Amino acid sequence: MINDRRPPAAEHADAYRASEPTRQRDPFAAPTLQVALASETERRAKHQRSGRIGLLVNLFINAPRAGLASAALSLAVLLATLPTGGVLRMDGGGESALQAPLSVASTPTIGAASPEGSTEAPSADAKAADPFEAAEPLDEAGGLPWLTIIGGAGLLFSLILIERSRRRRHA
């Protein structure tokens, strides 16, 4: 918005203004600009179409290397500790140590080992003989849940770091 209150004293300024060229070309008519804007529009549309997978790929591409390395390490720790903790025990009979005592009476194979007609839960000896029970390895590896927790916390921390970095870059 031009200020009209300017006094007409400045001869140099007036002369300068009079000698200054004015814009002649319409930048939007230039083919270079039209092509650049069209390609940018296309890129944006493609980006929108790619949806969540595209966002994830972009997140990985733009993530700081340190954050990614930390996340990978934490994930490796998490995966290495998980099988010895909970997942492996699921492989044998599809039950965890906590679920087994509750369902043992209704399982035909285990039910056959107990006295006929008995509705009581199996004794401590029967439990110990059960090949699907894995209470001992869990006790032996008492430190393992800690590694899992550390791995999980590390992974969470790395993801927060990556997200913070993305937001800072975005801002």
Partner 1 sequence: MKGVGETEERLRLLAAARRGDGRAFRALFAPDLDLAWRIALRIAGEPVGADDALQEGLISAYRALDRVEPRNLRGWFVRIVQNAARDALRRERRRPTLPIRSGEGSDGSDERGAVAEPQAGAASDPVLAAERGELAGELAAALEQIPEERRTAILLYDVDGYDYAEIAEITGCSVGTVKSRISRGREELRRLLAGLRPGTNPGDQALRGRDD
- What is the rounded CA–CA span in Å between residue 92 and residue 108? 16
Nearest distance from C-beta of residue 16 to partner 1, angstroms: 5
Stretch that binds partner 1, among 29-37, 72-80, 87-95, 122-130 (CB under 8 A): 29-37
Q: Does 53 bind partner 1 (CB under 8 A)?
A: no
For residue 132, the SS3 value is coil
Stretch that binds partner 1, among 15-23, 65-73, 89-97, 146-154 (CB under 8 A): 15-23
Question: Could you tell me which residues come within 8 angstroms of residue 62 by beta carbon, excluding any fewer than 6 positions away?
Answer: 166, 169
Nearest distance from C-beta of residue 140 to partner 1, angstroms: 55
Nearest distance from C-beta of residue 161 to partner 1, angstroms: 21
Question: Could you tell me which residues come within 8 angstroms of residue 94 by beta carbon, excluding any fewer than 6 positions away?
Answer: none
Q: Does 119 bind partner 1 (CB under 8 A)?
A: no
* CA angle, residues 78, 143, 79, in degrees to nearest 5: 15
Nearest distance from C-beta of residue 24 to partner 1, angstroms: 7
Question: Could you tell me which residues come within 8 angstroms of residue 111 by beta carbon, excluding any fewer than 6 positions away?
Answer: 104, 105
Q: Does 49 bind partner 1 (CB under 8 A)?
A: no
Q: Does 167 bind partner 1 (CB under 8 A)?
A: no
Stretch that binds partner 1, among 40-48, 57-65, 93-101, 145-153 (CB under 8 A): 40-48
Q: What six digits make up the tokens of 138?
A: 């869990």
Q: Which of 67, 87, 70 is nearest to 79 (CA)?
A: 87
Amino acid of residue 72 = A
User: Which residues are near partner 1 by CB under 8 A?
Assistant: 1-7, 9-25, 27-28, 30, 32-33, 36-37, 40-41, 44-45, 170
